[in-house]
Amino acid sequence: MVESMRGEHAVRSLALVGGMFLLAGCIPGIFLRTERVDPGVLSDVRGIGKVVARTTTEYTWEGLTTITDVLVLDVGGVTGKQAVPRASERLVARGWTINIDRLPESVAMDSPEPENALVYIEGIAASESHNAADSKVLKMIQDLRTRPNPDGLVVVEAEPYEME
């Protein structure tokens, strides 16, 4: 009889623990996660020019916080229409592939495996309108507009993504 009660107790405990895991998987926010790009991705991005400003943004949805690194780079002595193509060429040389080509204004690129990151590269003017809702990024960009040749700067947003 005692052995039977122990067996029942073990089954109930196992069912309770299993139910908790199932329930937790169905309710967003129970297990919080944070994702950001691999340091190797940021190393690649920093390698395409001189970093003149940097910040991060965070977006949370259903328990997942995604941190996006935003870097402003001077890719070296170019004008506005040359800056984004030069930046993308330098990443292509590092094994990145172009995902969305809207050159010379902007480009989206995928990192080489296994980093699974996506970067958006825009000229500073396009990024200023694109980031109008994010006051931290907008202020950073507006402050850089006072530099000599601000149109030669690129804004790079690096974010993680999961391959499906």
* Residue boundaries of the structural domains of the chain: 1-30, 33-160
pLDDT for 128 equals 64
Return the structure tokens found at 142: 């507006």
Please list the ranges in the chain whose pLDDT falls under 70: 1-30, 128-134, 162-164
pLDDT for 73 equals 95
pLDDT for 79 equals 82
pLDDT for 5 equals 55
CB 37 within 8 A of CB 158: yes
DSSP type of residue 90: H
pLDDT for 147 equals 80
pLDDT for 157 equals 94
The model carries a pTM of: 0.76
